[in-house]
């Protein structure tokens, strides 16, 4: 049995091959579209940002925190930075005396997560250009105009503080928080700068001369005070010496007076002692004179008594002797 292979016309083969390639391309495109569609349903909000969800331009009433989130393909996520942001702006303004002042004003500001949706809804994502820059310009020019150029030279910190207060009050109305500010590179015209420098030099020279004069006055006053103190010390020393001498003389006079009084008292005492001795002597002599007759009488009585005693003694003795001898003889 003969085998026959049916050949397709050349045109049909090309058409079949083309159709296969088209299906493959369609599949690839479909997969790609599906992948894109799936990928468009996910979004990432960076750290320190708040995601504002919009649907066909309409702001939804919720926000997204940092991280991966699902969303509808037709929704758009606007990222609002909540971190502290720093911006600098160069400005030209005028002082109260119409002197031109140029400066660089630096601001640190931020918006909170709670206020991000409100700021985007009312102002937009370009709120810095729309609100912050105009507020900075107005505050800097308004506050700078309160000071003269000469005051601004030495009051940079006061100027920065005043601008910060004014600017903070403006930005808070838009829910924008002012963190800190600074005034940098403050410059004036060459004419004014030269005038200020000349005035400062003159003031410095005046201050130097004044300081020198004040120093001389201070030194003269100090020398005068030293002289006054020395004179006072000398006067006090002389007064003390005079007082000491006067006190010594008074004590010597008092001692002399006391010595005289003591001598008089001693003399009087001696006179009294002698008078007492004379009185006692007179009394003794008078007593002796009064006692002399009594002694003579006593002498006579004593003699009588003595004779009587002697006589009695002899009589008694004789009797005793006789008795003794009589006894002796009787015994024999």
pLDDT band at 1 (very low <50, low <70, confident <90, very high): very low
- Are 196 and 186 spatial neighbours (Cβ–Cβ below 8 Å)? no
What pTM did the predictor assign? 0.50
| Strands (E) located in the chain | 42-45, 49-55, 58-64, 67-70, 75-81, 85-94, 100-110, 177-188
- Are 91 and 139 spatial neighbours (Cβ–Cβ below 8 Å)? no
Residues 189-247: tens digit of each pLDDT: 867 766 665 666 666 778 888 888 888 889 888 888 888 898 998 899 888 889 898 98
User: CA–CA separation, 200 vs 289, rounded Å?
Assistant: 128
Residues in the chain: 332
User: CA–CA separation, 218 vs 239, rounded Å?
Assistant: 31
Looking at the DSSP bridge assignments, the partners of residue 80 are 50
pLDDT band at 21 (very low <50, low <70, confident <90, very high): confident
User: CA–CA separation, 182 vs 242, rounded Å?
Assistant: 75
User: CA–CA separation, 194 vs 128, rounded Å?
Assistant: 38
Residues 153-185: tens digit of each pLDDT: 888 889 999 999 999 999 999 999 999 999 988
Give the number of other CB atoms < 10 A from CB of residue 108: 14
């Amino acid at each position: 049995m003969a085998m026959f292979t049916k050949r397709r016309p050349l045109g049909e083969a090309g058409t079949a091959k083309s159709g296969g390639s088209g299906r493959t391309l369609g599949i690839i495109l479909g997969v790609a579209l599906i992948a894109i569609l799936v990928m468009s349903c996910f979004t990432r909000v960076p750290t320190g940002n708040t995601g504002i969800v919009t649907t066909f331009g309409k702001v939804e009433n919720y926000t997204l925190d940092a991280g991966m989130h699902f969303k509808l393909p037709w929704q758009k996520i606007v990222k609002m930075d909540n971190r502290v942001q720093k911006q600098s702006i160069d400005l030209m303004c005028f002082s109260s005396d119409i002197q031109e002042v140029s400066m660089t004003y630096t601001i640190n500001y931020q918006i909170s997560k709670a206020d991000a949706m409100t700021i985007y809804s009312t102002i937009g994502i370009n709120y810095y250009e729309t609100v912050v820059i105009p507020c900075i310009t107005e505050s800097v020019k308004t506050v700078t105009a309160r000071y003269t150029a000469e005051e601004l030279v030495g009051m940079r910190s006061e100027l920065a503080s005043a601008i910060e207060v004014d600017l903070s009050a403006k930005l808070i109305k838009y829910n924008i928080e002012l963190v800190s500010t600074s005034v940098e590179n403050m410059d004036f015209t060459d004419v004014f700068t030269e005038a200020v420098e000349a005035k400062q030099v003159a003031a410095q020279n005046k201050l130097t001369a004044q300081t020198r004069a004040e120093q001389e006055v201070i030194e003269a006053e100090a020398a005068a005070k030293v002289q006054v103190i020395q004179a006072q010390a000398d006067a006090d020393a002389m007064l003390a010496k005079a007082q000491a001498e006067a006190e010594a003389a008074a004590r010597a006079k008092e001692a002399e007076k006391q010595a005289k009084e003591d001598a008089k008292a001693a003399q009087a005492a001696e006179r009294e002692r002698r008078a007492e001795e004379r009185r006692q002597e007179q009394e003794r002599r008078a007593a002796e004179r009064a006692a002399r007759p009594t002694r003579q009488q006593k002498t006579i009585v004593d003699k009588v008594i003595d004779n009587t005693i002697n006589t009695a003694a002899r009589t008694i003795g004789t009797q005793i002797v006789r008795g003794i001898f009589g006894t002796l003889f009787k015994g024999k």
